[in-house]
Amino acid sequence: MPALRLKHLYVIAAVALALPAVTACDSYKDDVATVQAAETVVPGKSNDAIAREIAGARGSIAWKGEKAERYNNDAIVLVTADIDRVGQSGATHKIALEFINNRETRKVAFEQAYIDGKPQSLLGGALALFMMQLD
């Protein structure tokens, strides 16, 4: 009987330790949804629609949220759309679109774009994405 109780205690302890990790994964779910729905880059188009257009028919998108380390404010969350774009020629490009969501002011802003790991300005990034359409 004591061995059975000990086993139950192990199970309870394992669940109690794993629960914060599971809820931490979901703690940015609302921030990601807010950024996806916002029209930050192009008026009239959601950020999610823009990411899908960039990914194209052969690409994929993974959204993630995390604490914005460059800001000393817990209300500001960094949300990134990691896009794998595969062109018609088979060339693969990695694009990251970074946004910030301010939970306090309820504002979303475009932060930075990266193409194949290189930071891009909004205009330079748009030109580079256009050139990818040609490959």
Task: Give the highest mean pLDDT range of 12-16, 59-63, 114-118.
Answer: 59-63
Q: Where are the domains of the chain?
A: 28-134
How many Å apart are CA 84 and CA 64, to the nearest integer? 14
In the prediction, which pLDDT does 19 show? 44
Residue pLDDT, tens place only, 9-40: 444 544 445 444 444 456 999 999 999 999 99
Query: Of 89 and 35, which is predicted with more confidence?
Result: 35
